[in-house]
Structure 1
Amino acid sequence: MRHVLKAAALAIVSLSVPAWADGCTGQNLFDTMPADKKARIDAAVRDVPFRDGLLFRASKGELQITLVGTYHFGDDRHAPMVKRLQPVIADAAALYVEAGPREEARLTEALQSDPSLMVDADGPTLPERLSPDEWQQLSDAMSDRGSPAVITSRLRPWYVSMMLGISPCMLDAMEKSGGKTGGLDHLLVHQAQQQQTPIHALEPWDTIFDLYSDLTPAQEVDMIRTALPSAAHADDYAVTLTDAYFSGNVWEIWEFGRFDAYENSGLPKSEVDEQMALAQDRLMDNRNRKWIGVLTEGADKAHRDGKGIVAAFGALHLPGKAGVLNLLQEQGYSVQRLDG
């Protein structure tokens, strides 16, 4: 159970980008993708605001926010971004992240002290809610991720769907490192600590538990069904999406998942779109809107001291009409890409 609790904390902290880690092997699925499917993904991405890029500056008069889209797991390719941001963080009034060290510690403590946060001891089990074939697929996939069937049967669906997106070898690497992901967020937090730059969280530590609290039973099960196809080839899936991240093709990550679910989830296209819209709304858009006030107030406070702020969060929060960059633009900020 201790391993499952560690995995729970890892999955929750790493909401916004599918997982990968150094030492895992797989194939980039774009390399073998039929041209017509790639064309459909390209078309879906084409008109999304700020669809590409990882590093931006938002300015409003003398107010300045440096924004970096992060990937939450270890990779040697983080090094250039860390080096580039070292002097920026040193000069900043504060670094803003989804969850700082205090929030992560509080989350882990809560999961360890209250298993009901991720385990449903009273309701119907997952084998009762899924078809026999679906349960077998799920049981096998979660076993690969360190969760025996007897535990998986009682896990809450929102947590299961997150775990299915994490490669088993990533979890192994995390276990060997003592629970540290080595992701860009943590690397930048370490830089801030070394430079004695204050670190602020963009949201409360328990935000995740409210994201799915009002889902219907049918929506909960469909979350699992949508996530199951990628679990069978998690290494390939993760390599594909991680390569897209380091190429700056951020929204391509999201649309790849949509088209994969169209083909492999067994759900009608309309239900896949409903699940994707639900996930985007809960995991990204609603949180983005709440972060804007935190960021703009932080920038205003920093300006009084003649400084700016740095904000580092999952890359999928950057693009889109309800993405952080577009929302800042609507607040009168001008946005400039720095890594293009």
Structure 2
Amino acid sequence: MHSQPVLSRIRTTCAQLPNLVFAVAAFLPFALLILLALGLLWGTGSARAETANTCNGTSLVKQLAASNPQKLAEARAAAAAAPNGRGLLWKIEKPGVAPSWLFGTMHVTDPRVTALPSAAQAAFDTAGTVVIETIDILDPVKAQAALLTKPELTMFTDGTTLNELLSADETKIIEAELARRGIPLALVSRMKPWMIAGLVALPACELARKADGVEFLDIKIANAASDQGKQLLGLESIGEQMAAMADLPMEFHIQGLVETIKLADLMPDIMATMVDLYLQGEISQIMPVILAAGPADMEQDASGYAAFEERIVTMRNHVMAERAAPILDAGNAFIAIGALHLPGKQGLVALLEDAGYTVSAVR
């Protein structure tokens, strides 16, 4: 009896794909890799009580502080070791060039996130050029048409089905979670695993806001730039972002799907954690805190994060730094990208410093 509503939701999701794929690539750690892949689909059988305006998650930081303060201290120590792990807004300077700005975003619709901090708003207001990861998301019809020329990025096109790639235990886990949401596995069995994971990953409140057409932060920034007549540029194409996902081994995608489903009931708390730490500018704390508070086997499972980090974060950091250079050399730019791209020895802040720019956090 769920077939027609499910098909309708899948069609809706596919129509929104260019906007939603953008959200995969820039903020979340591997255990949450799929969280923002396809943010409109959710099952009618969901038992969660969230609505479009209410998220019921509790920050894992608060939970750890009460239940295991030592683990929280260890997570914070690990985060402190990451270069440039604190702060959302960075000033970029070079002699003889007007300063520019680098701002870390989170690709969600939470109104606390979509309201720019005052310093970031001031930087945006003065900038003549605004840059986001990809401007393809602003023309969904065109972007969807481009993606349809490469269906192998999102679907099995060689006759393979997901069932053939799963163990009996994995099939049972995935089938049960999809059934809870009124989605027969057979209906989506030709989708790539990361696409299916997007059906179950986000908390209901975030899904509902997306379904209602609420803009996530990057879209809001881009539309404001267009409305104000600023030059709007992108650092990547949506095809490049999709290809980055497709480049990861199939075993990795299967692991990501299974882990995402195992974490389904924890997702509201994970989202609350990410939002709270993001708003505090504590970007490098996000993954250590989630690992510390997650299931006992989560840290072992997270060994695959290195592959994700290399292809989805690090390699793209280098591409974005290279493409940002001529924009920064022109000066007066506001570059807004997923906050996960900022920290670390190969994060954008460090790469721009290596390229000769002076980059300083704006507190």
Q: TM-score range by the shorter chain?
A: 0.7 to 0.9
Q: Which amino acid letter does the alignment assign opposite residue 325 of structure 1?
A: V
State whether residues 154 and 195 of structure 2, in contact with CA within 8 Å, keep that contact through their aligned partners in structure 1: yes
Match of 1:17 among 8, 16, 27: 27
Alpha-carbon distance in structure 1 between the residues aligned to 2:100 and 2:182: 40
Query: What is aligned with 1:31?
Result: 62
Alpha-carbon distance in structure 1 between the residues aligned to 2:257 and 2:83: 29
Matches within 5 A, 1:265-280: 265=298, 269=300, 272-273=302-303, 275-280=304-309
State whether residues 230 and 237 of structure 1, in contact with CA within 8 Å, keep that contact through their aligned partners in structure 2: no
Matches within 5 A, 1:191-210: 191-210=224-243
Are 1:287 and 2:297 an aligned pair? no
Q: How many residues get paired?
A: 327
Shift of 1:61: 1.4
Query: What is aligned with 1:331?
Result: 355
Shift of 1:186: 1.8
Does the residue aligned with 2:296 lie in a helix, a strand or coil? helix
Does the residue aligned with 1:238 lie in a helix, a strand or coil? helix
**Structure 1 unmatched runs, 5+:** 303-307
Matches within 5 A, 1:64-83: 64-78=99-113, 80-81=115-116
State which drifts further: 160-169 or 285-294: 160-169
State whether residues 226 and 261 of structure 1, in contact with CA within 8 Å, keep that contact through their aligned partners in structure 2: no
State whether residues 7 and 171 of structure 1, in contact with CA within 8 Å, keep that contact through their aligned partners in structure 2: no
Structure 1 315/142 Cα, relative in aligned 2: closer, same or farther at 3 Å?
farther
Structure 1 2/79 Cα, relative in aligned 2: closer, same or farther at 3 Å?
closer
Query: What is aligned with 1:58?
Result: 92
Shift of 1:123: 4.5
Shift of 1:45: 1.0
Does the residue aligned with 1:263 lie in a helix, a strand or coil? coil
Query: What is aligned with 1:2?
Result: 11
Shift of 1:50: 0.7
Does the residue aligned with 1:69 lie in a helix, a strand or coil? strand
Alpha-carbon distance in structure 2 between the residues aligned to 1:337 and 1:221: 38
Shift of 1:235: 1.3
Structure 1 57/118 Cα, relative in aligned 2: closer, same or farther at 3 Å?
same
Shift of 1:104: 5.0
Matches within 5 A, 1:228-267: 228-259=261-292, 263-265=296-298
Does the residue aligned with 1:206 lie in a helix, a strand or coil? helix
> Percent same amino acid at aligned positions?
24
Alpha-carbon distance in structure 1 between the residues aligned to 2:272 and 2:217: 17
Query: What is aligned with 1:47?
Result: 81
State whether residues 109 and 210 of structure 2, in contact with CA within 8 Å, keep that contact through their aligned partners in structure 1: no
**Structure 2 unmatched runs, 5+:** 1-9, 29-35, 40-51
Alpha-carbon distance in structure 2 between the residues aligned to 1:324 and 1:163: 31
Query: What is aligned with 2:43?
Result: none
Are 1:174 and 2:194 an aligned pair? no
Q: Which amino acid letter does the alignment assign opposite residue 54 of structure 1?
A: L
Query: What is aligned with 1:139?
Result: 175
Shift of 1:172: 2.5
State which drifts further: 112-121 or 210-219: 112-121
State whether residues 55 and 337 of structure 1, in contact with CA within 8 Å, keep that contact through their aligned partners in structure 2: yes
Alpha-carbon distance in structure 1 between the residues aligned to 2:186 and 2:117: 42
Query: What is aligned with 1:319?
Result: 343
Query: What is aligned with 2:48?
Result: none
Deviations 1:102-128 (A, max 9, x none): 665233334567654322143542233
Does the residue aligned with 2:246 lie in a helix, a strand or coil? coil
Alpha-carbon distance in structure 2 between the residues aligned to 1:119 and 1:172: 25
Query: What is aligned with 1:130?
Result: 166
State whether residues 292 and 324 of structure 1, in contact with CA within 8 Å, keep that contact through their aligned partners in structure 2: yes
Query: What is aligned with 1:107?
Result: 143
Q: Which amino acid letter does the alignment assign opposite residue 11 of structure 2?
A: R
